[in-house]
Structure 1
Amino acid sequence: MGVHFGISTLFVFCLLGLSANAKVFKITSPTGSDITSALLKTFNEACQFPTKATVMIPKGEYKLGEIEMVGPCKAPIRIALQGTVKADGNIKGKDFWVAFKKINGFKLNGGGVFDGEGNAAWRVNNCHKTFECKKLPISVRFDFVTDAKIRGITSLDSKNFHINVIGAKNMTFEDIKIVAPAGSPNTDGIHVGRSDGIKIINSFISTGDDCISVGDGMRNLLVERVTCGPGHGISVGSLGRYGHEEDVTGIRVVNCTLQNTDNGVRIKTWPSAKCATTASEIHFENILLKNVSNPILIDQEYCPWNQCNKQKPSTIKLVNISFKKIRGTSGNKDAVKLLCSKGYPCKNVEIGDINIKYTGADGPATFSCSNVSPKLKGTQVPKACSSPVPKLPGQK
């Protein structure tokens, strides 16, 4: 049977960014129904189609259980999510809700919503306090997805991370909206790791943990025009919690706004780390702060809930780091803190044109550092510190 497209259909395709020459596989389940089986069946059919294919989830609300959509597919494939898919309250299943795996040439768009229904789960989530905890499901996973573009999608009230990316290559997130309450634990907005060539641009993230978090093995990440807050800021790390971690390099965070966040732009590594990796070429530039606590932070003593031995310095090496053109207001007096490892002091840290103000009664704003001698350029408000770097054994 042929597929006929009228003028109105072509107009809708243009609005959704769909290709008129792609075969469309549409979910026809009634609104309010569970589409888990229908979506998996439809995806598998589209995945085996020999040319471009689109799976369309129309407007309306639908129930969706745990689902894995796995390639490789025979041709590029697109999911057009126009409606809202809602998770159930189950916290005893797998560690994900929706997963896209091993797909090359993938697109996800349509303006729809992934609603993780996380409110009930947050009350039993204690992973921020202990290693021994039940991992709640991540809302949307992208595992080993390449040449992909995710655009115009909303993630709401995830039980755990909203979006998790691992093993990706050449992947863009654009016009993404992520929303969860400030008190929701472990609800990182977008977590990326062990991937190469990811862009997160022109997006809004308001959640209970890091807006964007960068795990080990991440290479060549661009974060641009992202508004973050509330949340815990934009973070590289934490690094060093686990063994066999990989180096991090090529991280750029530019032209972003942070508002009412617990942290601003930060790098965090664990003491008593189980690996000796390097994080290098990490650059934050042109950042606007609005009532941000700890606006600029390197924390190599990151040890929440005393889950590590602080007496053993971090073995993660930080090299070629810069913070430039960062301005605005701080929520506390600790405007800049560079707390580097006494075992492996930070190397080549540059601070340029910083203007952060604090008006609290315990002010003024402060700039503190340890185990680092930052290179200073331009203006420094507050006045920059100067910390001698300890010599390692055997150095002259």
Structure 2
Amino acid sequence: MACIASALKALCLSLLFVAIASRPTNKPEVFNVLRFGAKPDGKTDSINVFTNIWKSACASKGGSSKIYVPKGTFYLGGAVEFVGPCTNQIEFVIDGTLLAPSNPGDIEKGTWINFMYINNLLISGAGTLDGQGKESWPLNDCRKNPNCKLAKTMGFSFVNNSRINGITSLNSKMGHFDFFAVHHFNITGVTIKAPGDSPNTDGLKFGSCSNIHISDTHIGTGDDCIAILSGVTDMDISNVKCGPGHGISVGSLGKGKDEKDVNGLTVRDTVFNGTSDGIRIKTWESSASQIVVSNFVYENIHMINVGNPINIDQKYCPYPPCEKKGESHVQIQDLKLKNIYGTSKNKVAVKLKCSKSFPCKNVELVDIDLEGVKDGPSTAVCENVHGSAHGKMVPQQCLNGP
């Protein structure tokens, strides 16, 4: 009997070993760009290498895929597109530098690096996207020329259940990161850098997106740190440092005929340092669409020498004179600002200039403490805004009643 028991025990152990040995490890298939011919010399164009690697990684059926860009400088001399759908999850790890051409004419499309129609994408690493925008900025005439063509650094269209973690975007020609029709997307630990006078270099721009989470990110650029456009819902922003730049802006809204509501924004535990604006909502005076902006919460926001710490502008006119055909038709409602504190460069620290036809309603101010840094105590300006105020109020609040 003892022999039989020992034999059974040995058999069980053998079967267990076989089961463990044959169990899939779930390790991703790794595509190191060096092994496929990319040169880290900052000169050799690696576009074909990257696109071929993407096609292989996207079509791989052996589990997840990992594209690895090691340290070194890899030149991508034109627009590159990474298109799905893919058969698996793809991790794109960038530890080196991806270098754009300095000549803006070499990128013939609106985005230098573009991801489209992909689910379960992870972009991570300690690397840098260098847009080499310095030569492009003096050529930027987009204020006057609607057909101006300068490329954004990285774009995402129809990309879902994905995230970016840890990378740096440097000196974009236009915007740094652009998101359209993206849902369930996380952005964490990203750094965005461009000079404060670099035109139209928005940090993160979103349109028609939902369930977006941005955290622990530092943005310093020449335009909006974060721009939130038509059709964005359920966005959470926390622990962001913004400056230089134009703040976190909703809009501009109302100019297009087919724009959609913007609903469900939370901004918390964020610092604006030396920006032209902090909290900003801007809508065109002569609206082509009637939409609603609602359910916004701004909480625990620190302003350091900000030009316009709180700024609702429903007569937005960036390049006057603007055609005036009536009041803005964008309804702003259910807006809460709590524990907003710090310093304002301008005497008017709180501007709430709402539409006469569609007054702002249910605006709640709680513990506002914004001191002026010159010209005496700070002040507030209100037009067509209804709501309530509680706690400390510096400057003195000017809301109409409910």
Shared fold per TM-score greater than 0.5:
yes
**2:104–2:135 contact (8 Å) kept in structure 1:** no
Q: Is the 2:387–2:401 Cα contact (8 Å) retained in structure 1?
A: no
> 1:135 deviation in Å?
2.9
- Runs of 4+ aligned structure 1 residues displaced above 6 Å come to none
The one-letter code of the counterpart of 1:61 is: T
* CA–CA distance in structure 1, aligned partners of residues 264 and 207 of structure 2: 12
1:190 corresponds to 2:235: no
Q: How big is each residue's C-alpha offset from its partner over 1:344-394, in whole Å with a ceiling of 9 and x where there is no partner?
A: 11111111100000131x2220111000123111111111113479xxxxx
Closer, same or farther in 2 for the Cα pair 1:20/1:26, shift >3 Å?
A: farther
2-side partners of 1:170 and 1:373: how far apart? 34
Equivalent of 1:274, from 270, 288, 301?
288
User: What residue is the counterpart of 2:53 in the other structure?
Assistant: 42
Q: Which amino acid aligns with 1:34?
A: D
1:272 corresponds to which letter in structure 2? S
Is the Cα–Cα contact under 8 Å of residues 252 and 284 in structure 1 kept in the other structure? yes
Secondary structure at 1:306 match in 2: coil
* From 105, 130, 144, the counterpart of 2:144: 130
User: TM-score if structure 2 supplies the norm length?
Assistant: 0.89
> Tell me, what secondary structure is at the counterpart of 1:315?
coil
Answer whether contact 1:84 1:114 (CA < 8 A) is retained.
yes
**Take 1:219 and 1:132, find their aligned partners in 2: how far apart are those partners?**
27
Match status 1:84 vs 2:121: no
Structure 1 position 324, deviation (Å): 0.9
Q: Of 105, 114, 123, which residue of structure 2 is paired with 1:108?
A: 123
Q: Please say if residues 164 and 190 of structure 1, whose CA atoms lie closer than 8 Å, have aligned partners that are also in contact.
A: yes
Alignment of 1:161-172 (within 5 A): 161-172=175-186
Q: Per-residue displacement from partner, 1:248-302 (whole Å, max 9, x unpaired)?
A: 1001111000000000111111111111111111111110111011100111011
What letter corresponds to residue 113 of structure 1 in structure 2?
A: T
Give the superposition deviation at 1:307: 5.8
2:45 match: secondary structure: coil
Contact (CA 8 Å) 1:130, 1:307: kept in 2 or not? Answer: no
1:243-392 matches, within 5 Å, as 243-306=257-320, 308-310=322-324, 312-360=326-374, 362-387=375-400
Number of the residue aligned with 1:11: none
State the 1:130 CA deviation: 2.5
Please give the secondary structure, in 2, of the residue aligned with 1:373: strand
**Corresponding residue to 2:70 among 52, 58, 62:** 58
TM-superposed deviation, 1:326:
0.3
**C-alpha offsets along residues 83-119 of structure 1, whole Å, 9 cap, x if unaligned?**
0011113433111100011110100001111111111
Residue 246 of structure 2 aligns to a residue whose secondary structure is coil
Q: Percent identity?
A: 39
Q: Deviations over 1:298-317 (max 9, x none)?
A: 11011111263245211111
Residues 69-95 of structure 1 show CA distances to partners (whole Å, capped at 9, x for unaligned) of: 000000100111110011113433111
**Partners in 2 of 1:253 and 1:162 — Cα distance?**
20
Q: Partners in 2 of 1:95 and 1:317 — Cα distance? A: 32
Conservation of the 8 A alpha-carbon contact between 1:277 and 1:315: yes
CA distance in structure 2 between the aligned counterparts of 1:143 and 1:267, rounded to whole angstroms: 24
1:117 to 127, 132, 154: 132
> If you compute each CA radius of gyration, which structure gives the higher value, 1 or 2?
2
2:164 aligned residue: 150
**Paired residue for 1:24?**
30
Q: Is the 8 A contact 2:388 2:401 kept in 1?
A: no
Count the aligned residue pairs. Answer: 369
Q: Does 129-138 or 177-186 show the bigger shift? A: 129-138
Stretch moving more, 287-296 or 20-29: 20-29
Q: 1:34 to 1:293 in 2, by over 3 A?
A: same
Q: If each structure's strand is expressed as a fraction of its own residues, which one has the higher value?
A: 2
Structure-1 separation of matches of 2:387 and 2:292: 18
Aligned counterparts of 2:311 and 2:65: Cα–Cα separation in 1: 45
In structure 1, distance between residues paired with 2:256 and 2:95: 39
Q: Aligned equivalents of 2:33 and 2:386: distance in 1?
A: 59
Q: Which amino acid in structure 2 is aligned with residue 25 of structure 1?
A: F
Query: 2:135 and 2:150 mapped to 1: Cα distance?
Result: 11
Assess if the C-alpha contact under 8 Å between 2:128 and 2:169 holds in 1: yes
Unaligned 5+ runs, structure 2: 1-24
Q: TM-score, normalised by structure 1?
A: 0.91
> Which secondary structure state, in structure 2, belongs to the residue aligned with residue 183 of structure 1?
coil
Which structure 1 segments of 5+ residues have no match? 1-18, 390-396
> In 2 relative to 1, CA 20–212 (structure 1 residues): closer, same or farther, beyond 3 Å?
same
Cα distance in 2 for residues equivalent to 1:368 and 1:177: 35
Give 1:6's aligned residue. Answer: none
Is the 8 Å Cα contact of residues 301 and 310 (structure 1) preserved in structure 2?
A: no
Amino acid corresponding to residue 116 of structure 1 in structure 2: G
Separation in structure 1 between the aligned mates of residue 387 and residue 376 of structure 2, nearest angstrom: 23
| Aligned residue type for 2:141 | N
In structure 1, distance between residues paired with 2:26 and 2:188 = 22
